């Protein structure tokens, strides 16, 4: 019983499905062993912190969140994650940023 699989264009998908694709996390090679699952969960774990931001900054994030049907805290978290992944590099000498080295 051979069934032909029909692939649809992303634009053909309903809005909720398209939004799910937009939020999906691509995992190139996923280790499904118990150790791999534990490592993945640990990497995704978040810790609550307290941070002081200017009111104007918070209002900008709230507007952005409203436009994208999201939470402003999530947008701030995603922004910080993207920034640290791009600009902060662990090395044997500490945490490196822009040529400067800070001990961790």
Number of domains in the chain: 1
The answer to whether 65 and 59 are in contact (CB under 8 A) is: no
Residue 4 forms part of a structural domain: no
Answer whether residue 10 shows pLDDT above 90: no
* 3-state secondary structure at position 41: helix
- Torsion angle, CA of 19/3/26/31, rounded to 10 degrees? 140
Does residue 2 sit within a domain? no
User: Does residue 1 belong to any structural domain of this protein?
Assistant: no
* Residue 63, in any domain of the structure: yes
Domain containing 15 equals 10-102
For position 65, what pLDDT does the model report? 93
Give pLDDT, residue 84: 83
Q: What is the pLDDT of residues 46-84, one digit of tens each?
A: 888 999 999 999 999 999 999 999 999 999 998 988 888
Q: What is the mean pLDDT of residues 90-98?
A: 62
Q: What is the pTM of this model?
A: 0.51
Is the residue at 5 inside a domain? no
The whole-number average pLDDT for the span 28-39 is: 74
- Is residue 51 situated within a structural domain? yes
């Amino acid at each position: 019983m051979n069934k032909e699989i029909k692939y649809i264009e992303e634009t053909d998908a309903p809005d909720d499905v398209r939004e799910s694709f937009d939020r999906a996390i691509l995992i190139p090679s996923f280790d499904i062993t118990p150790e791999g699952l534990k490592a993945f969960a640990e990497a995704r774990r978040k810790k609550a912190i307290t941070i002081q931001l200017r009111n104007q900054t918070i209002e900008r994030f709230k507007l952005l969140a409203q436009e994208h049907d999201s939470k402003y805290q999530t947008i701030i978290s995603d922004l910080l994650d993207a920034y640290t992944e791009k600009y902060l590099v662990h090395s044997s000498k500490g945490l490196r940023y822009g040529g400067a080295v800070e001990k961790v």
